[in-house]
Structure 1
Amino acid sequence: MPPSVTAEKDEELRRGDFPAYNASRRRQPPPKLKKPVPHYRHLVRWNKNHVPESIEERQMNQDLNILRHALDLFLNSRMAESEEILARGPVLVNGKDDGEKQGHAAQGSTSSTSSAASQKAKEALARLREQKEGSSDLQQLPNDFKESLTLDKTKEDAASTTSSGRSQKEGPSAPSSASSASSSKGSSSNKKDDKGPSSMYYDLGKAIIQGLRALVTFDPEQIELGMKAFERAIKTADKQRKGTMIGLGSVKAVGSFVVGTIGAGSFRGMNRVQKHAELIYAEATILRSLLSVLYHLDVWMVIEECINLRHAFTIIQGLKSFMDSVESELRAGKSIDHHQIDEHLVSGVTLSYSLYNIIISFMPDIIVKMLQFIGFPSDRDWGMAMLAACGDWDPMASPETPQEHAERLASSANDGVRRQFCDMVPVIFQVIVGSFIPLNHVDLNYAQMINDYNLELYPDSPFFLFLKGRHLQVTSKLDEAITTYNSAEVHEPSWLQLNHIFVFESMMIAMMKGDHDSACEKSRQLLKESRWSKCAFRYLVAITGYERGDSSEKKKIGTLMGKVEDGMQKVAGMNLFFETFCARKSKRYLKEGRLLLPNYDFMLLWNTFDMMPPKVLLMALDNISAEVRRLQELLPRKLLERENEPLAAKDQTIEASTGGVLSGLWSSKNPLQKDSKVADYENFYDDYCLAFFLQGLVAYHIAFFPEDAFNSKMCELALESFQTVFRYAPLINDDTYTYYFSHYYKAKIWIHQGRLDEAQARFKYLLGLTNTNLMGLPALVGGKGKNSLELFVLMRVHSGLIEIETTRAAAGDSDSAQSIRSGSIRSAKN
């Protein structure tokens, strides 16, 4: 190691104090929120025994009951049965007497249509009775729990009476027979959605399933079918909306767009069905817009759909304001029965409004401010807390007692048809989004608690099993994750594409562990069966074959590399960053016939280094360091001599002025270029900087592995490696991302040292605040060598700035670890 590097490294380590042990990634205190979180789930109990006053409301109750059952089947890997129920169409309620008969028939035919949570609640109560010998246990439970159990018992009795004379051929989803009896067009017409009886909830359910199929297959035909299904749901819901809401005048419409809401008063005059129609209209509009962006691949379509999203948001905001006013009435001691708020409306408004807050918060600051100006919200922590309140989750709570667990299962809020989606979002946020973008307040124990609860309800669910596998993966339990992914396979013929998710994650684990045979096998399966990204899959098959070192596959690798760029696709008029990365690397291979550590290079995109356990990280370090030593032997002697010269702070930045005059490192560019030639190796310094960056990256993760003792030697190696990248960055031709990421991880080391001001300055430099490109980072070589991972770096840097703000706030506020909720099951007892 040159003396100058040793001196620089020692100075870096002396300028701050590292913690003796690294922080845990499993348990972090929740954020302190800027405003209170509403608890809409408490509004549900007030209208639980409401008697439907109209045919429309009885029809909607019946549809929701059957849809809840269909959702339980779908979530528990029984997709075909779920789709069959929806395909039969709704059971029409034509009149009071006939409607009551059909309602009892629906209860009998769907004795299992009570949610999976209700079934589990009864089992939990039975266990409690066995443990405590009976009679006193029921008295200890809250009234709404006992009423729920009584109601379930009544439904079961009615079901057994009604179903006693039915044929055994009719399964638990027999509404088709009632539908054929009540429909004037007969059973044959129910097979076609456009001719059979319509129901806004049935249409929404079928549209969501078709939309999920479109995302799984990424087939343009399936995406188009999904858009049409959502359009049908929009039209059906529109017919049941209140007339005054549809015909907004131009002035009111413009005002609604600017201010951001229709107004809580508009919903006070609506009946329960009309409120649900507004919610479904907004939800279907949002989901259709997202599919439209994927289908049209056009920037102008994005602008058009943003307007539609804005209109949908005015409805969601209005519903949220209405529920806020109802909650205020409840706190004031007033009766709220007449507002007719049910668990389905609560879960729907909670999910939609929270997602707006969460998704917008990930955008760059300038865009967030523009969206806030026209009324969009952006508060990620508050949105996550709102979802937690819907499920009555507390990240800081102690483990539940059996009685508390039974109460949770029996809560009427569990029956909302959007309830499980409200639970999925926090888990996805913690174990998927948090593994790509470093986030604050990540609590993997909290995510596990929510997911385990849902796995108890749906033990065969591919969705919750996948999230369990991801949880194991991000906590570095790679072998257990593989076992979980293997157990989560979907066997439904029309949903086999869901297996591609498990195959991809298993392939990434194989790449982490250096199992090239398994990685190659799974990448070939994805290329053959999946439509997600032919560009990425061709590249993956090529590099996994390349890593195997089989000379007989060299010709095939070259053929695949030649087809990588042809598989690129656009979303919203833009290339996907990982496909751009794969295309650039494939061109390099075709030009030079080699790539440096392509598996570790690709894993950078999926941030898998965070998931590697120490044993795998050490293996990766050995592989990378071997390449570093090989490349060092090729480095020209004159450049080795220059390494004795210290690298000044100004020489760790690259800037280009508008006049094209280069400064910083560029002051020594010409002498460097003169002495830097390596025979027959045009992109030598791209590979040289890549090797040192990967070495520093792995050393960084070993040094700061969660809950392990801080490893000072690995931290020294990381700093030394990043410094080498800075030194040779002027000679990079293409792989400029190694320069940006080296700055990012060096700033992360400074955060660990407590040098927040210096880290913040480095992050702001990377954001390129003086750059005329709003979304860009400073370009290397005056525009040459575009950073294909620019957006990826941008998101990480924004997250780093938030981390610094949070660290400062936590240091000055000892109350930051408060619970994010109040009014929960446990706090109500205290």
Structure 2
Amino acid sequence: MLLLILTPPLVQGEMIQFMLVTCLCNLLSLCLSCLILLCSYKYLHMLSFLKIYTIKDSMYHALTYATILEMQAMMTFDPEHILAAGNTMKEAQAVCQRTLHRGTLTDSCFSHLVNNCAVIFTSEELHAEVCYAECLLQRAALTFLQDESMISFIKGGIKVRNSYQTYKELHTVLQSSTYVHGDNHGHFEGGVKLGVGAFNLMISMLPTRTLRLLEFVGFSGNKEFGLQQLTEGSAGQTFRSFLCNMLLLCYHTFMSFILGTGEGDVEDAEKLLQPYLKQYPKGSIFLFFAGRIEVIKGNLDAAIERFEECCEAQQQWKQFHHMCYWELMWCFTYKRHWKMAYFYADLLSKENAWSKATYAYMKGAYLSMLTREECQPFQESEVALFRQVHGLKQKIAGKSLPTEKFAIRKARRYLTENPITLPAPPLEMMYIWNGYTVIGKHKDLTEGIFVMGLDCCTLCSEGTEFSIDDQCLVSLLKGLCLKHLGHQEEAEAYFTLVLCNETQIKFDHYLVPNALLEHGLLCLEQGRKEEGIKLLETAKQNYKNYSMESRTHFRIQAALHKAKATGENGIHTMPSSP
């Protein structure tokens, strides 16, 4: 869920485009001023600043203003905010269309050779194309949030495809021998690199089944090429350099961590972040990323300090605090400080609308780790909280959130008159969010989870229909702890134990493919590449319709990509443009 909220503002949210060449310098300085205000999170100042100018006559200001409203809508999920952002973005798109060359680039190039398009289109029109592609992408995101109908879903998909095709054509124009570099070439090229890089990176991370479907309808993604485009875009002195940097930071600290094998590129992330953190030491967004880097490094106390500092840095946009609360909740979970973790889950449940079902589940999970005496000060019980989960579910783009569906399934055993306690639910959810790669950097934390958190936690379900499922869950989590403690043979034995009980598992069918995934990763770490790939392929091909299936497939895809892209000498190859 966090990714849904974070990604649009960073990947799409601040792409301020170009207007007329004659007033480029003045408008650039204005938008750079807006960006500085945004970096400092002087949100109200920025809106006042933009309202001075005529939004409807400037692509720059129209898209900037619409983007700010979309960021607000993504943060709040308020229907009124979503509607206002959608209408404003539609107006921004209309401003762009007035400058387009007889329609859009893909329409015009349908009857011309692409090379000739570099001559046919003026520099101003090409800049308008980049702006138009961004409007399409942002309107698609709002369409998915605003309406759950299949028609709206299809409309949103068409917008995404048209945006993708426009970026693809613009990239071809850049490669054309007839394209002449104008005064604003660097900024135009930066915009294309951002769009092409973002699409390639995002599409390449998708599970194989989804990727094949997208390729069938004309999409393609190359991870190395996407990273290359974004890196080149970030290195330039253009307006899009900042946006390329932010997307790379998001990839290294979130996407590759949560949807990958739990390994973010900390060194690259720190290099990207330091100049901005130095220039804007109180910039909330930069303090937030600094906290994420500390989490990945395993420096939990430093991470907590960063997130708290981030909350103190600005008070105008309270929704941004909620991202920090989510991170703080997990930091205290890793440290097994259940009361503090509950505190932040409770704050989220009261103030935030992203996923109230997940928050209720996490609150119940933390209370379940406390003794009866420790629970007395709290005004709610774990049983009551778990029973609330189902009624709090929501849908986005017509689909239930995977984490919410997982929480609902796990909480069902509390709906009976005599509920059967879950075995260490926060430790299970910690696995879903790849948290064991964090505690694995601390021997004391890992041993604490292994001994205190998992010891005898299946006693409550012994002799019930849940007993085998709970035993297999504990085996998976013990295997993870042992792997990080360096006891690889014992870890492998626990992963194998889950597979041996496959036919007896009644509810938590996700445990088997995930045990195969972890076993495969263990083999890869030991240099048993062929065996590891075989286990990963088995997990990918032989199992379906289980909880959190998409997230497991994301991780399998990342592991296979890493295994297959690394040769015997450990060198990665850089493919050419797709």
Q: 1: distance between equivalents of 2:294 and 2:571? A: 31
Work out the CA distance in 2 between the residues paired with 1:540 and 1:508. Answer: 10
Partner of 1:532: 354
Q: 1:243 to 1:427 in 2, by over 3 A?
A: same
**Pairwise mapping of residues 388-407 of structure 1 onto structure 2 (< 5 A)?**
388-392=231-235
Report the identity percentage. Answer: 22
In structure 1, what is the equivalent of residue 200 of structure 2?
Answer: 357
- Post-superposition shift, 1:515? 0.5
Q: 1:87 aligned to 51, 56, 59, which one?
A: 51
**What is the aligned counterpart of 1:479 among 301, 312, 315?**
301
Counterpart of 2:99 (choices 232, 240, 263) is 240
Hey, what's the Cα distance between the residues in 2 that align with 1:439 and 1:722? 17
Aligned partners of 2:349 and 2:359 also within 8 Å: yes
* AA at the equivalent of 2:71: L
Q: 3-state SS of the aligned residue for 2:257?
A: helix
Q: 1:575 matched to which residue of 2?
A: 400
Q: Secondary structure at the match of 2:455?
A: helix
What displacement does 1:79 show? 1.8
CA distance in 1, matches of 2:524, 2:348: 39
SS at match of 2:326: helix
TM-score normalised to structure 2 length: 0.89
Matched, 1:199 2:58: yes
How many residue pairs align between the two structures? 553
What's the counterpart of residue 318 of structure 2?
496
Q: 1:802 aligns with which of 561, 564, 570?
A: 561
User: Aligned residue for 1:61?
Assistant: 25
1:693 alignment partner, one of 454, 464, 476: 476
Tell me the equivalent position of 2:38.
Answer: 74
Please tell me the residue identity of whatever aligns with 1:597.
A
> Residue 541 of structure 1 aligns to which amino acid in structure 2?
K
Q: Deviations over 1:473-515 (max 9, x none)?
A: 0010111011111111166554111011111101101011110
Cα pair distance change 1:449/1:245, threshold 3 Å: closer
Give the Cα–Cα distance (whole angstroms) in 2 for the partners of residues 545 and 61 of structure 1.
Answer: 58
SS, match of residue 488 in structure 1:
helix
Q: Look up the match of 2:13.
A: none
Residue 531 of structure 1: SS of its match in structure 2? coil
What is the CA–CA distance in structure 2 between the aligned matches of 1:598 and 1:367, rounded to whole Å? 30
**1:236 Cα deviation from its structure 2 partner:** 0.8
Q: Distance in 2 between matches of 1:819 and 1:468?
A: 31
CA distance in 1, matches of 2:518, 2:194: 35
If the length of structure 1 is used for normalisation, what is the TM-score? Answer: 0.63
Q: CA RMSD in A?
A: 2.8
The CA deviation string for residues 585-624 of structure 1, in whole angstroms up to 9 with x for no partner, is: 1212333241110110111121111011222111111124
Residue 173 of structure 2 aligns with which residue? 322
| Distance of aligned partners of 1:493 and 1:475 in 2 relative to their CA distance in 1, 3 Å threshold | closer
How many angstroms does 1:521 deviate by? 0.9
Asked if residue 227 in structure 1 is aligned to residue 86 in structure 2, the reply is yes
| Matched letter for residue 574 of structure 1 | K
Aligned positions of 1:30-429 closer than 5 A: 56-90=20-54, 198-243=57-102, 245=104, 248=107, 263-325=114-176, 336=180, 339-392=182-235, 413-414=236-237, 416-429=238-251
Conservation of the 8 A alpha-carbon contact between 2:198 and 2:230 = no
1:789 aligned to 2:562? no
1:602 is the counterpart of 2:429: yes
Q: Where do 1:3-42 residues align within 5 Å? A: none
SS at match of 1:604: helix
Matches within 5 A, 1:529-568: 529-549=351-371, 550-552=374-376, 553=378, 556-568=381-393
The answer as to whether partners of 1:267 and 1:319 remain within 8 angstroms in 2 is no
1:472: how far off?
A: 0.6
1:452 matched to 2:416? The reply is no
From 715, 725, 736, give the equivalent of 2:509. 736
Which amino acid is the alignment partner of residue 601 of structure 1? E
Q: In 1, Cα distance between the equivalents of 2:315 and 2:304?
A: 23
Letter in 2 for 1:219: D
| Structure (1 or 2) with the larger CA radius of gyration | 1
Cα distance between partner residues in 2 of 1:726 and 1:59: 66
Q: Which amino acid aligns with 1:695?
A: K
The answer to whether the Cα contact below 8 Å between 1:466 and 1:502 also exists between their aligned partners in 2 is yes
For 2:506, what is the secondary structure of its paired residue? coil
* Matches of 2:403 and 2:571, distance apart in 1: 41
Instruction: State the distance in 2 between where 1:607 and 1:814 align.
Output: 25
Q: 1:354 Cα shift?
A: 0.6
Does the 8 Å contact 1:264/1:319 carry over to 2?
Answer: no
Superposed CA offset, 1:214-248 (max 9, x none): 11112222122221121111001111112364894
By how many angstroms is 1:263 displaced? Answer: 2.5
The question of whether the paired residues in 1 share the 8 Å contact of 2:139 and 2:159 is answered with no
- 1:619 pairs with 2:443: no
- Please tell me whether the aligned partners of residues 256 and 263 of structure 2 are also in contact (alpha carbons under 8 angstroms): no
The one-letter amino acid of 1:722's match is F
**Aligned-pair distance for 1:730?**
2.4
- Supply the distance in 1 between the matched residues of 2:25 and 2:546 (Cα, whole angstroms): 54
Distance 1:607 1:755, change over 3 A: same
Tell whether the 8 Å contact from 2:249 to 2:273 is kept in structure 1 after alignment: yes
How far the C-alpha of 1:693 sits from its partner, in A, is 1.4
Q: CA deviation at 1:66?
A: 0.5
